[in-house]
Amino acid sequence: MKTPVTVLGLGAMGTALAQAFLAAGHPTTVWNRTPGRSPELEGAIRATTAAEAVAASPLVVVCLLIDTTVRETLEGIDVTGRVIVNLTNGTPDQARSLEAAVPGAAYLDGGIMAVPAMIGGPHAFILYSGDTAAYERHQADLAVLARPLYVGADAGLAALYDIALLSAMYGMFGGAQHALALVHSAKIPAVEFTEQLLVPWVTAMLGSLPQMAADLDQPSERGAAGSNLAMQAAAYHNLLDTAVAQGVDPMLLVPMGALLQKAVASGHGDEDLAALIRLLG
């Protein structure tokens, strides 16, 4: 028989996780603060309390709003002998602290790199960290949700990777959203601009990331800058001036301009974009 699982939280993501477990044939117990959510989960066993749900299965997946929600929900519940897999978004410190708050249980923290519609599909992956033996025991069970990637025994590591990837995503969307506001201000059709120019341009620029990362890992092998920072800082004013002239708030662009100025002022004008990473910390 497939491992019985419990899912705490039937928001958009918890529902998708429970659906994937049910589709793979796992006896699946679910609990949600507000009863009656997600009637589409046919075959799920509905627990009336979180404690009852935790008692029902050796593997307990938690997907609630934020860290405090998880703590309030698990408070006072006997988790002895359970594997708690917390897929709620949080910080590395929150993950480590939660691990300490569930004595008697094995703790895994996870970062879901997907939206609900991707769960159970080929492009989703979930980062895990924490109890190695528990991960190895349940890797196949967790694989029905998304491709599992174990990143280390420190429970905080999955959150660190997750937050790093989300930070990159928001930066990318921020730049693209500014670009769209700019073309929209000139009544240029957004879809055509996006498909024909924005996506190909961003995709081509992403190709420079591995070299940037290599410059960070091996500074001694850094080559000459093809696009030096002094040149980029000089041109950056045009980005800000054009935004203002078009009536577009430059708030998403301003921090990068300040960082470029700082790099030039501190003697890095002849280096390339990798130098900015070192200035951040």
Site residues for ligand NAP per CB under 6 A:
9-14, 32-34, 37, 63-65, 69, 72-73, 88-89, 112, 115-116
60, 6 in Cβ contact below 8 A? yes
CB-wise, 33 or 46, nearer to ligand NAP? 33
CB-wise, 28 or 89, nearer to ligand NAP? 89
CB-wise, 165 or 279, nearer to ligand NAP? 165
34: nearest Cα among 46, 22, 20: 46
User: How far is residue 3's CA from residue 10's CA, in Å, rounded to a whole number?
Assistant: 20
Q: Nearest distance from residue 98's CB to ligand NAP, in Å?
A: 13
User: How far is residue 219's CA from residue 240's CA, in Å, rounded to a whole number?
Assistant: 31
Structure tokens at 9: 């939280």
CB-wise, 115 or 206, nearer to ligand NAP? 115
Q: Nearest distance from residue 132's CB to ligand NAP, in Å?
A: 23
Q: Nearest distance from residue 8's CB to ligand NAP, in Å?
A: 8
Q: Nearest distance from residue 87's CB to ligand NAP, in Å?
A: 6
CB-wise, 65 or 188, nearer to ligand NAP? 65
Q: Nearest distance from residue 95's CB to ligand NAP, in Å?
A: 12
Phi, psi at 176, each rounded to 5°:
-65, -40
Lateral strand order in the sheet of 28-31? 45-46, 28-31, 5-8, 59-62, 83-86, 106-113, 125-130, 147-150
Burial of 238 (0-12, 13-18, 19+ CB in 10 A): exposed
Q: Which residue is nearest to ligand NAP (CB)?
A: 11
